[in-house]
Amino acid sequence: MKQIYFGVDIGGTAMKHGVFTPEGDMLDKWEVPTPLEEHGSRILLTVAQEIRRWCGAHGYEMAQLAGVGLGIPGPVRRDGVVERCVNLGWGGVHPASELSALLGGIPVAAANDANAAAMGEYWQGGGKGYESVVFITLGTGVGSGIILDGRMIHGAKGLGGEIGHIIVDPSEPEMCSCGHYGCLNQIASATGIVTRAKRFLAASDAPSALRAAEKLTCKDVFDAAKAGDALAVQAVENCLSFLGKSISDASYTVDPDAFILGGGVAKAGQYLADVTYRYYSDMANLGDGRAQIVLARLGNDAGIYGAAKLAMDCAAQ
């Protein structure tokens, strides 16, 4: 009787479900809206219903369901408790045990969504073949997850891999959501790169292809930088110098085999990895001890892959 695992990435808008074989092949995936009403109290009920519905529709018995993993958009404490998740309206929830109870006691694991995505990329994405990775997702903000020797670093309070809030440029004039100035989050995110590009444009009269953009995007900045536009290059180099510094610092802390760059900014491809690596190697005097910098491969599916892998690891214990 073939076993299956579910990976569910619970976001503030949609919940993405994925069904996986023990070998890591994805059999199916789909999304449903996240029911945020009543402090998110219907979220796990809906996940349980979706899982039962899929199994019924595809001829799987519940006995074949070997485990479910959940990615949560907020900190998950080491003991599995979500003390507070603003995006879902949750406070003091233990999602793994609640969902397990709704599904007849099967193994359920829960982790922060960036950590789950890190596990996904480690297992079946850009980190495949490495033993230890740090995944950094560069989107509207900067998220991160750490996998060392196959184990996720949740952290004592669920803050493992929150490197987006490390202050890297105290000269930054705008305040980060955390109340500090100059977090990596504000600089190496898509938002941060656009903000800095606009500042460089405003501070100079030099010609730049970026001046023609109606609504400047991160892609515009990278495209212009790749084409040699001096102001775009300046913005990219400035932002990635701080990313390289953060990678250097993390290298001296957890010393992974590889850093995996994902999120919207990573669509800039190898150019992003190359420029970042230049700053990293400049700052980390490690010779052969330096880690690789590689690109993520699973896109928005990283979370469901990683959640499913967490379910497998949990079921195997």
Contact status: 81 vs its own copies (CB under 8 A): no
From the list 187-195, 241-249, 273-281, 309-317, the region that binds its own copies by CB under 8 A is: 241-249
Question: Which contacts qualify for 46-49: CB closer than 8 Å, 24 or more apart?
Answer: 46/15, 47/8, 47/10, 47/15, 47/17, 47/99, 48/99, 48/102, 48/103
Contact status: 50 vs its own copies (CB under 8 A): no
Contact status: 137 vs its own copies (CB under 8 A): no
From the list 51-59, 135-143, 157-165, 193-201, the region that binds its own copies by CB under 8 A is: 157-165
Tokens representing 275 are: 């420029």
Phi, psi (deg, nearest 5) at residue 21: -85, 165
Pick 128 or 219: Cβ nearer its own copies: 128
Instruction: Give every CB contact of residue 3 below 8 A, 6+ residues apart in sequence.
Output: 21, 22, 64, 65, 66
Pick 166 or 265: Cβ nearer its own copies: 166
Pick 291 or 307: Cβ nearer its own copies: 291
User: Exactly one of 30, 33, 285, 299 binds its own copies (CB under 8 A); which one?
Assistant: 285
User: Exactly one of 53, 78, 199, 211 binds its own copies (CB under 8 A); which one?
Assistant: 78
Contact status: 76 vs its own copies (CB under 8 A): no
Which one, of 54, 76, 72, 77, lies nearest residue 5 by Cα? 54
Smallest gap from Cβ 255 to its own copies, in A, equals 3
Pick 53 or 78: Cβ nearer its own copies: 78
Residue environment code for 61-100, b if the CB has 16+ CB neighbours within 10 A, otherwise e: eeeebbbbbbbbbbbbbeebbbeebebbbbeebbbbebbb
Neighbours of 175 (CB within 10 A): 12
User: Exactly one of 155, 213, 226, 295 binds its own copies (CB under 8 A); which one?
Assistant: 155
What Cα–Cα distance (Å) separates residue 198 from each residue in 126, 140, 240, 294?
Answer: 32, 16, 16, 28
Instruction: Give every CB contact of residue 233 below 8 A, 6+ residues apart in sequence.
Output: 225
From the list 46-54, 243-251, 273-281, 304-312, the region that binds its own copies by CB under 8 A is: 243-251
Contact status: 160 vs its own copies (CB under 8 A): yes
Pick 7 or 263: Cβ nearer its own copies: 263
Neighbours of 25 (CB within 10 A): 9
Which residues of the chain form contacts with its own copies (CB under 8 A)? 75, 78, 131-132, 146, 148-149, 151, 153-163, 165-167, 178-180, 245, 248-257, 283, 285-286, 288-289, 291
